[in-house]
Structure 1
Amino acid sequence: MAIAEVTVIPVGTGSTSLSAYVAQMQRVLNSQQGITFQLTPMSTIIEGDIKDVMQAILALHECPFDEGAGRVSTSVKIDDRRDHPTSAQYKIESVRQKLADS
């Protein structure tokens, strides 16, 4: 399973507020198949098969253009671990366990 952290920034929108774009991108993610996702204050975490994750990232990148943005900057980090099943929650729990052990 792949875990991706995605930040999409519409540029030249005439406003410093981006929450309407973020809300629309979350709606777009709701329509994507084969993924789970969670909104964070600075990005969105997407989990799933790498092909489904990449399709979701493309949909996110296109979303601000569909909403009238003339330019979009998208940053992506992908953790694609194939030696055993993983998830964002698993990664957090692993760190918590190590903190509890020390």
Structure 2
Amino acid sequence: MPLLEISIIPIGTNSTSFSSEVTSVVKKIEEKGLTYKLTPTSTVIEGEIDQLWDIARDMHQKAFSVGPDRIVTNISIDHRTDKQMDMKHQVDTVEKDLE
């Protein structure tokens, strides 16, 4: 299953905090039933490619609701077609190699 890593940076806000906006976006991800993992600087989401494009667009547009005039959105998509892949498998593979 494809993976999307997304990081959204609002520019020109009155606050350095963005956690409430992240919380509202995570609720949308959960409503769609997608698997996700928060990191300190981004969110990784697992889903079908169309779902990932849709949620990335929603997250980008939602970021404007807090008032900034500029948003920088960084997206990375890992889409493998030769075999099944998911977040858990990728992490488990690396952790197993560390043993």
TM-score > 0.5 by shorter chain: yes
Is contact 1:8-1:73 (8 Å) kept? yes
Is contact 1:29-1:60 (8 Å) kept? no
Match of 2:17, SS state, is: coil
Q: Who is 2:17 aligned against?
A: 17
- Cα deviation, residue 15, structure 1: 1.1
Identity over aligned residues, as a percent?
32
- Cα deviation, residue 78, structure 1: 0.8
**Structure 1, gaps ≥5 residues long:** none
TM-score (normalizing by structure 2): 0.89
Match of 1:41, SS state, is: coil
Map 1:15-54 → 2, pairs under 5 A = 15-32=15-32, 35-54=34-53
- Cα deviation, residue 44, structure 1: 0.3
Q: CA deviation digits over 1:43-97, x for unaligned, max 9?
A: 1001011111111111110111123222111001111011111111111111112
How much is the aligned-residue C-alpha RMSD, in angstroms? Answer: 1.4
* Paired letter, 1:41: P
Q: Who is 1:89 aligned against?
A: 88
Match of 1:26, SS state, is: helix
Structure 1 residues 69, 25: closer, same or farther in 2, change over 3 A?
farther
Is contact 1:28-1:63 (8 Å) kept? no
